[in-house]
Structure 1
Amino acid sequence: MNDADRAKPAELVWGHGPQKLEVFLEPTCPFSVRASRKLMPLLAHVGEERLTLQVHLHSQPWHLFSGILTRCILAAAALPDGRDRAWHTLRTIGDHREEFEFSQHCEGLNMQTTPDELIVRLEVYARLDLARPFRLSGVTEAMKAHARHARENGIHVSPTVMLDGAVDDRFQSGQSVEEWAALLG
């Protein structure tokens, strides 16, 4: 295995402020999709000098393609400009959610979809080459790191928000950006 095979995906961190907001998202969860759409507007609202925003991917088994799609996002993070490409990939999945999720978590058109077909579908929507970085050992290590961080912090569902290192259940996906900003204090 060469160094290129070990390419480490970029961390999904924006801003550099003293307050840290960590958000655990599952790519196809409708509540995670709704929460993800608030993150960049929230950062713009409160300012990058005030807030550090970190996204963690939290694969969940009842979203049956979750592991494959999480790995695709981390594969995008291993590309040049990885953080932004990973964010674009996460948002692309949310924007085309029905193409990447089973109906009722167990049926529908996606029952006949293979992992390779799913990757190709995402490559078309995202306009990125994900198949090669999908297989990198660095992506495997990143997947394990995201899962380990969630377990170590008692994260079970998505979206979950941690504020300054503690889970904060006040943040709900149905709230507005302004409500989230007010929760930051």
Structure 2
Amino acid sequence: MALPPSLKPLIVAGNPDAPHTLEVFLDYVCPFSGKFSRAIDNHIRPLITHGGKYDGKVKVIFRLQVQPWHSASTLTHEAGLAVLRVSPENFWPFSCQLFDNQEDYYDIPTLDLTPRQIRAKLADLAAKVIPPKAVEHFQDILTPKGHLNGGVAVTDDLKYNIKFARQNGIHVSPTALWDGLVANEVSSSWGEKEWSDFFAAKVKS
């Protein structure tokens, strides 16, 4: 449930000081993760913010779950972390944009694209959400520099997310943790009733 201070914007819903934590491991190019991202806004957020029944009691952390069998997964997650760096308040809006356009980054649509071309597409997508002055910084962050195999400016942030998932035995997306334990019952197909029932069972007044 811990986060480095620089990654605090990964708390995408609820009060950061809330006593309960729902952690969701999502991959930007996983269709079920896309469904889950929409559930966060449509079903979970109304329950845990703005006077909802569990306002102040639950927070949601988005854990970036890179799945390397999808060739563009690493590049999309780097883009999310770059937005988090240059425009943290727009990290979740960008993530939602990326989930809504995730098919553009599936295996076949990106088959003949180079990493440079994919990053350019991601920059165009980011430009729809982040301030114009931040776009150049976003592109600079995703430009490899220095050592021939040193990655980009957010590689260490990416490593943190991958290592966190590995040490917790997370293998697939989406996976949900409630207060640090895997909640196998959680489904990306859940609607308002299922989430209401889940919180009613888990959150004790």
Q: TM-score range by the shorter chain?
A: 0.7 to 0.9
What are the Cα deviations for residues 139-167 of structure 1, in whole angstroms up to 9, with x where unaligned?
Answer: 11111111111111110000000000100
Of 139, 147, 151, 1:131 maps to 139
**Structure-2 separation of matches of 1:35 and 1:110:** 23
What is the 5 A alignment of 1:1-185?
Answer: 8=6, 10-13=8-11, 14-16=13-15, 17-41=18-42, 42-47=44-49, 48-80=55-87, 82=88, 84-102=89-107, 108-127=108-127, 128=130, 129=135, 130-135=138-143, 139-184=154-199, 185=201
3-state SS in 1 of match to 2:173: coil
Q: Could you tell me whether the CA contact under 8 Å between 1:88 and 1:126 is conserved in 2?
A: no
What amino acid is aligned across from residue 141 of structure 2 in structure 1? Answer: P
Normalising by structure 1, we get a TM-score of 0.84
CA RMSD of the aligned region, Å? 1.9
Report % sequence identity: 28
Going from structure 1 to structure 2, the CA distance change for 1:59 and 1:100 (only over 3 Å counts) comes to same
**Which entry has the higher C-alpha Rg, 1 or 2?**
2
Normalising by structure 2, we get a TM-score of 0.76
3-state SS in 2 of match to 1:55: strand
What are the Cα deviations for residues 11-46 of structure 1, in whole angstroms up to 9, with x where unaligned?
Answer: 311322211100000001000000011113312223
What amino acid is aligned across from residue 161 of structure 1 in structure 2? Answer: A
Going from structure 1 to structure 2, the CA distance change for 1:138 and 1:112 (only over 3 Å counts) comes to closer
Going from structure 1 to structure 2, the CA distance change for 1:10 and 1:74 (only over 3 Å counts) comes to farther
Q: Could you tell me whether the CA contact under 8 Å between 1:21 and 1:53 is conserved in 2?
A: yes
Q: Could you tell me whether the CA contact under 8 Å between 2:78 and 2:158 is conserved in 1?
A: yes
**Structure-2 separation of matches of 1:97 and 1:77:** 18
**Structure-2 separation of matches of 1:51 and 1:40:** 14
**Structure-1 separation of matches of 2:30 and 2:74:** 13
Task: Return structure 1 stretches of 4+ with deviation > 4 angstroms.
Answer: 135-138
3-state SS in 1 of match to 2:110: helix
**Structure-2 separation of matches of 1:178 and 1:169:** 17
Question: How many residues matched?
Answer: 171
3-state SS in 2 of match to 1:43: helix
Stretches of structure 2 that go unaligned for 5 or more consecutive residues are 1-5, 50-54, 145-151
Stretches of structure 1 that go unaligned for 5 or more consecutive residues are 1-7, 103-107
- How far apart are 1:89 and its partner, in Å? 2.3
